[in-house]
Structure 1
């Protein structure tokens, strides 16, 4: 009995720690860092200083975590009603909203200090801008009011490309802007595919995601259009940055596969609204793989030159 009693507080403590970690949305952080570090390699035309990479990754992780925590605090009412989010810390009442808010502020302050002291002021300013945009523009202004919520709100997720570049160079240029645009046009197909899967959840809480207010065929058409623009934008990096042959080849192959997936979803959506037939998560998972491999190519390209 004594051994069981001693184990109980440890289990409870672990649950609380994991709840705080969950508030930061680690999977989102992973995706954001995936667009930060490769850009640093590209900006350095090789391997950037390890200390700079570590500082940028730590600052970026804290920054993205802060924005996610604020999002969880504001959206806790609808998170409690949605199947996809009801297991988060706030709906389960493992963490109080006040404690979560303090946690988000602490993460935001720490991220700003890390980036300002060990990277540079421009990167720190961009990080603060990204947090503010995600919280005030996307979460509080757009998400519950317009079908274009993730189109414009997705801008916040594009900032890591700028932060990664400025961390190395200390200034902005057209190269990170092109990569910023790639992520911008990638976000709607990625998010709308997920929203197709969970459209009933969004409808239940009156969040006007595009799949909630438009038929699947209309959503799929929008996905196809954004996908074509995304692929075209990705190929712009070749002439703008003067890449080697690896990047355009990878971008072209990945783009062709992504477009095939998008057109496949559109073809299925023209015949049915049935989720089991639409299979939108195929495109969602493909979009993650697309972005990952594209930015791996961004990192490797300068190493080969």
Structure 2
């Protein structure tokens, strides 16, 4: 397969900018952006709305480097099936624009840079958490689960849930119950998100032999599982308000509104599991949901928000309260 890729689809770079672009694409930047948003949310919650700008920059940079390393190795490992699947054939490795050995060196360099940066400017726990994310994503998900287990996304979702732990540890140097709840929220969000995508491109996964739930169990079972995870996810987001008291009223309102829409879309999919557009709608919204939920955490944690809520509560009649 690799000989076919290299001889028939090989392309050459015309300038340095194209080389940089190819290596940039290996890191899957769109995925990194979402991971960094969850990292930032963890930092703001841990710092109670007052994050040190330098620490924020260092942590997000280190997290981006770690995620880029993991994604590059994922591209390296999956280059055979990426060549077969229409939506991934353009990627740098299956297209022949980057050699496998160069991609491996690039991934190792990113991992070393991430670990060094986070150890020096944050703390060792933060660096180890970022490194564990790389190891889990590469060895547990990509190597072991993705091609061999229908639970690949469920268990593998732990890798994507590590970034908020990285953010929290960077600020506090430890991990509290609130940090682990952030981990749980991302962990529960992952199956509905990826299974909705898998329902959209089920035939492609089937062609390359990846045992995604829609391929093995069908759309109806997948929609049922998405509904179950959604029912657990939405109430879980409110645990930050009570009993943990990490977030307040503003976040609670945002989480309820966003969660209500999430449940509505999951219910629509449950009613029409064969509708690709319904699955696409849930998939796209799941991304927006996580971004806005994290934004809600950040806004709620800001001192100005806390002061406004306190001022409003004090101005209300006691009878109303």
Deviation at 1:244, TM superposition (A): 1.7
Matches of 1:70 and 1:153, distance apart in 2: 15
User: SS of 1:32's equivalent?
Assistant: helix
Matches of 2:17 and 2:202, distance apart in 1: 33
Partner residue, 1:63: 66
The runs of 5 or more residues in structure 1 that have no matched partner are 1-8
State whether residues 247 and 297 of structure 1, in contact with CA within 8 Å, keep that contact through their aligned partners in structure 2.
yes
Matches of 2:243 and 2:29, distance apart in 1: 33
Partner residue, 2:35: 32
State whether residues 122 and 170 of structure 2, in contact with CA within 8 Å, keep that contact through their aligned partners in structure 1.
yes
Partner residue, 1:268: 272
Q: 1:20 aligns with which of 19, 23, 36?
A: 23
Q: Which moved more, 1:237-246 or 1:102-111?
A: 237-246
Matches of 2:32 and 2:301, distance apart in 1: 25
Partner residue, 1:41: 44
Partner residue, 1:5: none
Deviation at 1:15, TM superposition (A): 2.1
1:215 counterpart = 2:215: no
User: SS of 2:241's equivalent?
Assistant: helix
The total of aligned residue pairs comes to 292
Matches of 1:274 and 1:155, distance apart in 2: 29
State whether residues 174 and 240 of structure 1, in contact with CA within 8 Å, keep that contact through their aligned partners in structure 2.
no
Q: How is 1:1-305 mapped onto 2 (pairs within 5 angstroms)?
A: 11-242=14-245, 243-269=247-273, 273=274, 275=276, 278-303=277-302, 304-305=305-306
User: SS of 1:211's equivalent?
Assistant: helix
Deviation at 1:10, TM superposition (A): 8.1
State whether residues 175 and 240 of structure 1, in contact with CA within 8 Å, keep that contact through their aligned partners in structure 2.
no
RMSD: 1.2
**Normalising by structure 1, what TM-score?**
0.93
User: SS of 1:79's equivalent?
Assistant: helix
Matches of 2:135 and 2:189, distance apart in 1: 21
Deviation at 1:284, TM superposition (A): 0.5
Matches of 1:227 and 1:10, distance apart in 2: 45
List structure 1 runs of 4+ shifted beyond 3 angstroms.
9-12
